[in-house]
């Protein structure tokens, strides 16, 4: 088979146009990827800012209700008594501790380890017992046959 001869003008055109085409395609891909990354980061930032805005709006609502409550003298007096232990004339402050309630003692790390080791040992013993029993049953069946 004879190879087809490619004219020099076609070679020159390819040598000139291929690098330009590669450069244009590469530039388009680079621009597309960077735009996509920027868009993703902006969407993420928008979601964070929207959640922060919602939190601030709810805080503003609660602060507005607190402001309206603080306009009431009875509420201010009760608030001062509860939080700052203020009293009226002739009143006494008696502090009551809630230590009378039964407190649950937290389990420390060492106790947890003992429980885990105990369970592991029990599981190992049960597995060994089952293996020994199954071997004894196999031996008995062989003797019968």
The rounded distance, in Å, linking the Cα atoms of 32 and 38 is 10
Measure the CA–CA gap between 59 and 66, rounded to whole angstroms. Answer: 10
pTM for this prediction: 0.43
Give the model confidence (pLDDT) of 100-143 as tens digits: 555 556 656 677 777 888 888 888 898 888 888 888 887 777 77
Give me 107's structure tokens: 């389990």
Whether 55 contacts 61, CB under 8 Å: no
């Amino acid at each position: 088979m004879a190879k087809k001869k490619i004219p020099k003008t076609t070679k020159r055109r390819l040598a000139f146009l291929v690098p330009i085409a590669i450069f244009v395609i590469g530039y388009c891909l680079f621009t597309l990827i960077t735009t996509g990354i920027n868009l993703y980061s902006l969407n993420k930032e928008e979601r964070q800012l929207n959640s922060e805005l919602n939190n601030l709006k709810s805080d503003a609502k609660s602060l507005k209700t607190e402001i309206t409550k603080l306009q009431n003298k009875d509420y201010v007096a009760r608030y001062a008594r509860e939080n700052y232990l203020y009293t009226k004339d002739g009143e006494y402050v008696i502090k009551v501790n809630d230590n009378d309630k039964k407190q649950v003692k937290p389990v420390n790390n060492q106790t947890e380890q003992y429980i885990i080791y105990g369970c592991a040992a029990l599981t190992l013993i049960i597995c060994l017992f089952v293996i020994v029993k199954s071997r004894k049953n196999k031996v008995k069946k062989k003797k019968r046959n």
